[in-house]
Amino acid sequence: MNLFYLRYFVTLAHIKHYTKAAEQLCISQPSLSHAIAQLEKELGIPLFEKNGRNTTLTRFGEEFLSCAEHTLSTLDEGITTLHRNARGEGLIRIGMLRPLGIEYIPRLAAGFLKANPGQDIQFTFHTGVTQYLLDGLAARKYDLVFCSQPSEEHKFTAVPIQKQNLIMITPQSHPLSAKDSVDLVETIPYPQIFFEKSAGIRNVIDQMFARTGASPKIAYETEEDQVIAGLVAQGFGIAVVPYMDILQKLNVNILQIRSPNYERAFFMVHNDCVFIPPVVQKFRQFVLDDGMMLTEEPA
């Protein structure tokens, strides 16, 4: 169906006069008449009928007007959205690890909005463990994901954007609690609480222990760093975790890890196989230009 004919139909339906409608549409009256005749022929029913000097809708025309207006409105909204996207406006869907949602991502998003005043830019923010976020990126639920380094099998583009030192936490009554720092090999005799294998940080910690040449005693596994901290505080074991402010409020001791020396890196990840909207490209470049390689350390 010819979209121009639909617009001609809607205009004539509201003006109810062929000559005046043609003038508003900037076409000739015969061209308008031909368009309406073709539309009626395609539909197989009359849309208009004469009413003195004016033209009114038939019962079928009234029913079709609602559909035509809805169709054109939806189309116009879609065109407007595409134009906004082409101008570098629109929606940016972010997936991130929870620690990055405390300060890093909010700061970047606020800075990006401040750097682009007057533009219609929105964000959505979603949190989860690395594997969940990467699955969401593959399913096109997110435009950019901020997480641990993805494995090569994902075939995503990943750029390191932040680093974070890992620490050891113990219950306050633990044999290691009197120390300020520790070699991981010293922790081998004690039960430990690990992140689940779905968490990106798990691979980092596994590599750290692999470098000691010994295997830790994994007593419990869970996916949330704050849950691990709570379990350590209650004496369920010791754990390697990223530093969190909440540790200062719990009954745990914080030990620096002397060896093996290891930093956890966070990455900005996107899918090269999917078209990246201009506004997402702008934000990605903004993150790269920001150049903030922050290290979170105990206060």
Output the domain CATH number for residue 133: 3.40.190.10
* Predicted pLDDT at 162: 84
Question: pTM to 2 decimals?
Answer: 0.60
Mean model confidence pLDDT for the chain: 90
Residue bearing the bigger pLDDT, 294 or 165 = 165
* Main-chain dihedrals φ then ψ at residue 139, nearest 5 degrees: -85, 5
Query: How far, in Å, CA of 140 to CA of 143, rounded?
Result: 7
The answer to whether residues 252 and 179 belong to one domain is: yes
Output the domain CATH number for residue 23: 1.10.10.10
The answer to whether residues 169 and 242 belong to one domain is: yes
The answer to whether residues 203 and 77 belong to one domain is: no
Q: Which of 70, 87, 104 is the last residue of a domain?
A: 87
pLDDT higher than threshold 50 for residue 292: no
Q: Which of 87, 119, 134 is the last residue of a domain?
A: 87
Query: How far, in Å, CA of 262 to CA of 148, rounded?
Result: 14
Residue 241 CB neighbours (<10 A):
23
pLDDT tens digits for 171-199?
A: 999 999 999 999 999 999 999 999 998 88
The amino acid sitting at 119 is Q
Domain extent, residue 71, equals 3-87
The answer to whether residues 239 and 169 belong to one domain is: yes
* Main-chain dihedrals φ then ψ at residue 244, nearest 5 degrees: -135, 145
The answer to whether residues 276 and 152 belong to one domain is: yes
* Predicted pLDDT at 87: 67
Total of domains in the chain = 3
CA-based nearest residue to 259, from 194, 187, 197, 200: 187
CA-based nearest residue to 238, from 265, 209, 211: 209
The answer to whether residues 15 and 80 belong to one domain is: yes
- Name which of 66-70, 275-279, 288-292 the model is least confident about: 288-292
- Name which of 71-85, 99-113, 127-141, 171-185 the model is least confident about: 71-85
Residue with tokens 């990223």: 242
The answer to whether residues 255 and 182 belong to one domain is: yes
* Predicted pLDDT at 118: 87
pLDDT tens digits for 240-260?
A: 998 888 899 999 999 999 999
Residue bearing the bigger pLDDT, 89 or 165 = 165
